[in-house]
């Protein structure tokens, strides 16, 4: 042990949760690879525009719900105003998103994708959509519903109302 290294082998690591059950390492591993491949193509397209995943998230929700208030987007993304302001500024300055003041509340900032923003979002989503559709098509008839239930189960219970408002749970 003169080198300061500690030798550990798998037999020394206890991979059990406090309740005694095994960790779902296979699910976590599969989730990692699925997510990596799901975002990979979009990441390359975003990078060419000087954007990142935060830009993609904003484009997703602005396209999903045109006229979404900035306050709602902050709540959904759980990021700081400063972080969102930076990302929005880039999307607005590059012509992907436009902000309008609310009709009833002039302090409210409503977000809309421009035609350029809608086109870019469609391009970003194309490979992701085909990947999801292919995976779901390979499932038995109830498979899609089961997948949707799984993802809803992964969401914090306090945020599940947002899923309903965005109509993301309509097929469950």
DSSP-assigned letter for residue 111: E
pLDDT at 69: 96
pTM of the model: 0.81
- Spatial contact of 88 and 70, defined as CB atoms under 8 Å apart: yes
pLDDT in tens, 144-170: 999 999 999 999 999 999 999 999 998
pLDDT at 171: 87
Domain extents for the chain? 45-136+155-172
pLDDT at 45: 95
Name the pLDDT band for 5 (thresholds 50, 70, 90). very low
Residue entry with tokens 């904003």: 58
- Spatial contact of 96 and 59, defined as CB atoms under 8 Å apart: yes
Q: What's the fold here for domain 45-136+155-172? A: Arc Repressor Mutant, subunit A (1.10.10)
- DSSP per residue, 129-167: HHHHHHHHHTS-TTHHHHHHHHHHHHS-GGGHHHHHHTT
Residue 105, helix vs strand vs coil: coil
pLDDT in tens, 7-63: 444 444 455 555 666 667 788 899 999 999 999 989 999 999 999 999 999 999 999
pLDDT at 11: 45
All residues at 6 or more sequence positions from 123 whose CB lies less than 8 Å from its CB, including other chains? 45
- Average pLDDT of the residues of the chain: 89
């Amino acid at each position: 042990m003169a080198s300061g290294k500690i030798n550990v082998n798998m037999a020394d690591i206890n991979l059990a949760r406090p309740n005694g059950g095994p960790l779902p390492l296979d699910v976590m591993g599969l989730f990692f690879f699925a997510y990596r491949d799901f975002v990979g193509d979009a990441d390359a397209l975003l990078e060419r525009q000087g954007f990142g995943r935060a830009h993609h998230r904003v484009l997703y929700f602005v396209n999903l719900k045109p006229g979404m208030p900035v306050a709602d987007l902050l709540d959904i993304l759980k990021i700081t105003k400063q972080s969102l302001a930076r990302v929005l500024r880039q999307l607005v300055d590059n012509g992907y998103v436009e902000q309008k003041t609310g009709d009833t509340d002039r302090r409210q900032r409503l977000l809309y994708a421009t035609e350029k923003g809608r086109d870019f979002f469609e391009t970003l989503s194309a490979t992701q959509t085909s990947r999801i559709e292919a995976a779901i098509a390979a499932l038995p008839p109830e498979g899609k519903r089961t997948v949707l239930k799984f993802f809803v189960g992964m969401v914090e219970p306090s945020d599940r109302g947002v899923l309903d408002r965005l109509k993301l749970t309509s097929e469950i």
